[in-house]
């Protein structure tokens, strides 16, 4: 696998983290939706244990920001999953940018 000459190492690392987070977060939501024992495993208090796990352990800062902008309607499954998508997208971008920034600083420090 060769990398594109136009992409820097920090951008490849940042994109990898963002895409990896996006996929893992969706997998957690899907497991919570399809596996009935997941709710008892995490002691879920809502009917959507995948989203509850995501909000509590993976994307807590992003959830607090998105929740301040728009409230999650837990009684409406469609609205709750739409908010979940917003949280996942926002946090994937934030984690990707943070990783890119740290990687850029490390590469700059190594190169001198």
pLDDT single digits (tens) 53-100: 998 889 988 888 877 776 655 567 787 888 888 899 999 999 999 999
* 3-state SS, residue 55: helix
Q: State the Cα angle at 12 between 9 and 17, rounded to 5°.
A: 125
Query: CA torsion 37→41→45→47, rounded to 10°?
Result: -20
pLDDT single digits (tens) 10-50: 999 999 999 999 999 999 999 988 988 888 888 887 788 88
Overall pTM surpassing 0.75 (yes/no): yes
Instruction: Mark out the alpha helices in 1-112 (DSSP H runs).
Output: 9-34, 38-41, 49-53, 60-69, 77-111
Average pLDDT value for the chain: 86
């Amino acid at each position: 696998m060769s990398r594109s000459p136009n992409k820097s190492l920090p951008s490849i690392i940042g994109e990898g983290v963002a895409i990896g987070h996006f996929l893992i977060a969706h997998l957690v939501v899907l497991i919570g939706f399809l596996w009935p024992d997941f709710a008892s495993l995490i002691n879920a208090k809502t009917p959507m244990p995948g989203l509850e796990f995501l909000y509590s352990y993976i994307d807590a800062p992003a959830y607090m920001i998105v929740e301040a902008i728009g409230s999650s309607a837990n009684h409406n499954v469609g609205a709750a999953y739409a908010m979940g998508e917003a949280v996942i997208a926002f946090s994937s971008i934030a984690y990707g940018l943070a990783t890119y920034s740290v990687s850029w600083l490390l590469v700059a420090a190594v190169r001198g």
